[in-house]
Chains A and B, each alone.
Chain A
Amino acid sequence: MNKQIITTIAAFGLTLAASAASAETVRVGVAAEPYPPFTEPDASGNWTGWEIEFMNAVCAEAKLDCVVTPVAWDGIIPALTSNKIDAIVGSMSITEERQKTIDFSDKYYNTPSVIATAKGSGITPDDAGLKDKIIGVQVSTIHQDYVTTHFGDVAAEIKEYQTQDEANQDLAAGRVDAIMADSLALDAFVKSDACCEIVGAVEDDPAILGAGVGIGLRKGDDELREKFNAAIAAIRENGTYAEFSKAYFDFDIYGQ
């Protein structure tokens, strides 16, 4: 009994020591939730998706040893600032609000935001269409910001979800009338569930919706940012980006 306890404590100590030793690796935080087609766990427990391939390509280009570290989305920025992870590759849009707290690399994709509803709901992605409706959004997203700012007065209620997946689920379950999210994420959702359809993009608001998605980094971590920027430019240039994107999208999601 005693020996067992000692071995367990020793093993525990070793885990601590082992994790302290690997200072060279870059811990890349991804949101610990299914967010197809960008990041989702597969049945063997590995993380897959476009963004994982993007991360692998960028890290290979920059000669960085990256490890995927799943973190809860609503705590992903605190996780970065409290040193639990070193970078966020989580479809995080570059916004002024976030830039007060963290830095971003250059953008690596940019897609519009759209509204999805149950099929045949007749809801349009504007004030008139969303009047007295319940809108679901994921917390700490540009979509939450947008919906609160633009539809906060007309909507019956804005429901906030910890993960996009839960918002999707509740749209399918009829608990919300509409959800707003990234067009590609919702595209993947409406293709997987016959319940719902995308009714269109919302009117652009660059101040809120930002200028594309970038890698989130700690403030002042300029060395890493330069490395990522160079790598993003390089994989755009040498065709790697187009190569791994082909399997997911039939157009260039980098945007203008």
Chain B
Amino acid sequence: MGPELRSWKEPHRLVLIGIGIGIILLAAVTMRWDWLPRYSWRLVEGVGTTLWLLFLTSVMGFMLAVPLGIAQAAGPWWLAGPARAFCTVIRGTPLLLQLWLLYYGLGSLFAQYPEIRDSWAWPYLRSAWPYGVLALTLSFAGYEGEVMRGAFAGVPKGELEAGRAYGMSPWTSFRRIWLPRAIHRALPTLAGETVLQLKATPLVATITVVDVYAIISRVRQDTYLTYEPLLLLALIYMMLTGVLVMAFRWLEAKVPVKGG
């Protein structure tokens, strides 16, 4: 945001806000919202699924991104190569395709082994969400792994040497200097990546995971309405993004980036 005044009290802004409220009121009055009470509880559940997916896959994806980053930044070639190839493939193909490959391609494979069908894992392997979680996790790891590579490579060599001079073992210097510094460097990108991850979650609805997007699809099919359910869905995602962005701002204020 530039140096210009950013206050909602400017006269033209009041007019714009007025117009905005007017549009919302008009939409509320003239459009059909009678379906809303019937689906409200399911919508809440759907938002829950979406957030749960987002949280789980971001955390797991980040945990996977750290080794991917180290492998690329400092690993031997037989680790750096595969890690780099993984990131390239994940970043070079659409997530939707990856998801369908896992669910329809890989998933249909398991059914052909009676041993798998009879095992304890089958109830999980036959449901859809593990594939959604896997695809979203790998996707987050692929994108964030690239960020972590840069973050690890960007930690000044002098700091690591200083650690060694203090007599730290390589493991200690990694744990106490390299990793925290790299994570700090990557932290600002994390907010953006997490918002992107949120926006990727509705894809799992295409493999029958019932998130908030799937509930809205259900409303669309039940009511044949074109605008209303999609507008509500856009509003829900906007609010989720807003909350996410604010949460990260709060988090970043709590965790000062030491040493810049």
Contacts and interface: CB of A to CB of B under 8 A. Distances in A.
A124 interface: no
B117 A174 contact: yes
A74 B104 CA distance: 19
Contact of B224 (A78, A172, A175): A78
Interface stretch (B21-29, B67-75, B213-221): B213-221
A159 interface: yes
A175 B104 contact: no
Interface string A146-181: 000000000000011110001001101111000000
B49 to A, nearest CB: 14
A136 B83 CA distance: 38
- Pick the most buried of B117, B214, B220: most chain A CB atoms within 10 A of its CB: B220
Contacts of B208: 159-161, 170
Size range of the chain B interface in the assembly: 10 to 19
Contacts of B59: none
A140 interface: yes
B226 A174 contact: no
Contacts of B40: none
Interface of B: 104, 107-108, 110-111, 117, 126-128, 206, 208, 214, 217-218, 220-221, 224, 226
21 contacts: A75-B220, A77-B224, A78-B224, A101-B224, A139-B217, A139-B221, A140-B221, A144-B221, A159-B208, A160-B208, A160-B218, A161-B208, A169-B104, A169-B108, A173-B110, A173-B126, A174-B117, A174-B126, A175-B107, A175-B111, A175-B128
Return the 5 tightest CB-CB contacts between A and B, nearest first: A173-B108, A174-B111, A140-B221, A101-B224, A173-B111
Interface of A: 74-75, 77-78, 81-82, 98, 100-101, 139-140, 144, 159-162, 166, 169-170, 172-175
